[in-house]
Amino acid sequence: MLRYLTVPVTAFEQNCSILWCDATGKAAVIDPGGDLDKLLAEIQRLGLALEQIWLTHAHIDHAGGTGALAQRLALPIVGPHPGDQFWIDGLPQQSTLFGFPPAQHFTPTRWLYDGDQVRIGNEALNVRHCPGHTPGHVVFHAPQIDRAFVGDVLFAGSIGRTDFPQGNHQQLIDSITGRLWPMGDQTVFIPGHGPESSFGQERRSNPYVGGS
C-alpha cells in the first residue's frame, strides 16, 4: 500500500509530500523546497527510511532544499525533466530574489521523461511530462491509490502561472487536458499549493480548464 503525508514548506506554503511504501517503510520526498528539519522530523515520527528525492520542477519553493537534503543523507535526486536545467542553474538567483535561504546547486541523479516509472519499496508511479508552467515539469501518478502529485500544473480552481521564462499557456492547457484528464475523473490530485481536489471536480468547475 502506498501512503503519503503532505507537509507545507517555505513561506510559499508549498505542498511537499512524503510518500512511502507501507510494506517496506521506504520513503521518497516530493519537492523538498525547504524547512528540512520539519520534514525530517515528520519522517522520523513516521518511522520511515528516506531513500529518494523526486522533483516536479525546479522552482525555488519546490527544489530549494534539494541540494542540502541530498548531501546531508546521500540521497539520489530523481527528476525533473531536463527542460528545467536552466531553472536549476538559476536556483541561487531565485533564492536571492524571493528571500529564501541560499539554495545549494545540484545535479539530478536521474532525469525523467514522459512514460518513465519511479519506484519506492514495492510501489511504482508513472511519470508524465507536463510542460507549460516550466518546460521540464513532470507529474507523478499513483493509479493504485488514484492520486496524482501535480506540482504547479493544476490547482483547485486555478492553473499554474505561465508568465515565467519559457512558460507557455497553450502548452499548459494541453498538458492538463491531454495528460492529466486521461488519469480519470476519480483521481485526486495533490497540487503544489492549496487544497486537494479531483480531476472530475476541476473538469466541471475550474474556470481555466472547465468543460474540456
Q: In this structure, what C-alpha cell is assigned to residue 172?
A: 499548459
| Cβ proximity to Zn ion, 64 vs 67, nearer residue | 64
Query: Quick count: other Cβ atoms within 10 Å of Cβ 94?
Result: 18
Nearest to Zn ion of 26, 129 (CB atom): 129
Give least dist CB 166 to Zn ion, A. 12
* Closest CB 75 distance from Zn ion, rounded Å: 21
For Zn ion, the closer CB: 35 or 61: 61
Q: What are the Cα distances from residue 154, in Å, to 129, 139, 175?
A: 13, 10, 10
Q: What is the DSSP string of the chain?
A: -EEEEEEEETTTTEEEEEEEETTT-EEEEE---S-HHHHHHHHHHTT-EEEEEE-S---HHHHTTHHHHHHHHT--EE---GGGHHHHHTHHHHHHHHTPPPPPP---SB---TT-EEEETTEEEEEEE--SSSTT-EEEEEGGGTEEEEETSEETTEE----STT--HHHHHHHIIIIIGGG-TT-EEEESSS--EEHHHHHHH-TTTTT-
CB of 85 to Zn ion, least distance (A): 15
Q: Which is nearer to Zn ion, 93 or 122 (CB)?
A: 93
CB of 130 to Zn ion, least distance (A): 12
Name the residues that contact Zn ion, by CB under 5 A: 59, 61, 152, 192
> Would you say 14 or 52 has its CB closer to Zn ion?
14
Nearer to Zn ion, 3 or 193 (CB): 193
Q: Nearest approach, Cβ of 104 to Zn ion (angstroms)? A: 19
Min. distance of Cβ 31 from Zn ion in angstroms? 8
